[in-house]
Each structure stands twice: as C-alpha cells, then as structure tokens.
Amino acid sequence: MYSWNFKQIVQYRDMLYAFRLFLVYTWFFIASAFIFFLFCFRPFDLRNAIFWCRVVPPVARKILNLKFEIKNHDRFKEFHPCVYVANHQHALDLIIFAETIIMPTTALGKKELKYIPFYGWLFWLSGQIMIDRSNREKAIQAVDIAAAQALEKNASIWVFPEGTRSKGKEMGQFKKGAFHLSLSMKRPILPLVCNTFHTTVNFNKWNPGKVVIQVMDPVYPDQYSLESIDNFISEVRNRMMNQIQKLDLDLITAKV
C-alpha cells in the first residue's frame, strides 16, 4: 500500500495556494509587460500608478477569490496629501493595498526593485522614488527629494515603515523615513492596516477568507520634532498594532 510521508502531505495541501500564486504572478508580469509600453508614452507621471492599480490588482484578487473591504476609504481624499504607512506582511501586500490608491501617490522603494523585469521598470516609470538603503546619506537625500516632489505635485507618499515583510510575525520596528517625510511636509501620517493573513486567511481553501483594510485616524506631526521623532513613531506603531489585533479578533469571531 502506498503511504504518504509528511513532506508529500504538506506539498499536497499547498497545491491550491501554489497554483493561485502561479496564476497571480503570471497575470502580474504579462499585464505589467503590456502596461510598460503604455507608460513609455507618459513617463514619470503619477497617473500611471493609479492606472496600474485600477487594472492589475482587481484581477489578481479575483484569482485569489478573496473577499475584500476597505473601511474609511474616503479619508484618502479628506487628508490628501499625506504620508500613508501600512503594515507589510506578505508579497501579496502590493496587490492588496494597491486598490486603495485613488489619489496621486508616490512611494519609496529600495533601489533593487529596478532589477525586476517590467514591475521594477514600471515602478520607475510611474514616478516613484528609489532609495539606496545601504547608503544612509543617499537615503536621507532621497527622502528630502520625495518630500519636495510630493509637495510640488500635490501628491501623497506611500511607505511600508517596517522596511521588510513580517511574514506572520509581530509587526517589525519602524524605520524613520516616513516620519521625517511627515515632519518635512508638515502633513499627517495616515495609517492603514490589514488583518493578519497567517491567522485569518487560508489560501489553500476555495474560499480563503476576507481581507479588511482599515484606514485609521490621521496622526499630525505638529506636536513632534526631530528630537521627539521616536515618540512619533511609537504613537503610530502602537495604534496600528492595536487596530490589527481588533481586525483579527473580529474576523476570527465572525467565523465561530
């Protein structure tokens, strides 16, 4: 009699998830390849990013069969321009959060993105800012450039302040870039959070669950300075962690 070993069982259970990811990334790169040529006719225009967000992520979400809700989405218009900060837990964050973008927005991304075919090139052609994180002086200069450009173009700025994916662990420590931007621009931080994939979403099920994005109350920089920036960071991070816990609890309770 044929017997399954543990590795084979894990591989079998992950098949649906792997197949979905294959379809998502296939769509992602094919669509991005075609859009790349369109962007060549309108380079470095922030409207390019909005166009990409309206075309690529909704189809990807259909492939994943995810239920989706954005709470307080009107705050994007109400507090524009601002600095968006969001929790970063999975490679799919790009697809999940992209549907929130409805106003001209630029983002800070690591310079290594430009080496990713089509997506990295699209990131560059849509007027986003690439940072050399290995060079602190250049990174600070890039933040100053981003703030100046955002004010000039009346654009918001998107930052994942953790700098890397948490992969289901507790939210990582925040880097200071987003908060320097807020102080420099004199515009609020607008936090937005998504429920934890690892505890509330199962991509191996036909109906994997629901993703809820909560756009939170803004946090203004008026009462902070460069000397108290750590307090600014702690205030925003604590609010976001509490809101994620609440979203997770609500979704888990709804399943019971």
* pLDDT tens per residue, range 202-238: 888 888 989 999 999 999 999 999 999 999 999 999 9
What confidence category does residue 146 fall into, taking pLDDT thresholds of 50, 70 and 90? confident
Mean pLDDT of 242-256: 86
Q: Is 82 within 8 Å of 190 (Cβ atoms)? A: yes
Domains of the chain: 6-255 (3.40.1130)
Mean pLDDT across the chain, nearest whole number? 85
Report the SS3 class of residue 140: helix
Q: Averaging pLDDT over each range in 169-178, 232-241, 245-254, which range is the top one?
A: 232-241
- Measured between alpha carbons, how far is 145 from 131 in angstroms, rounded to an integer? 11
Q: Which of 53-62, 71-80, 169-178, 223-232 has the lowest mean pLDDT?
A: 169-178
What confidence category does residue 168 fall into, taking pLDDT thresholds of 50, 70 and 90? low
Question: Nearest Cα to 102, choosing from 121, 142, 74?
Answer: 74
- Measured between alpha carbons, how far is 97 from 41 in angstroms, rounded to an integer? 26
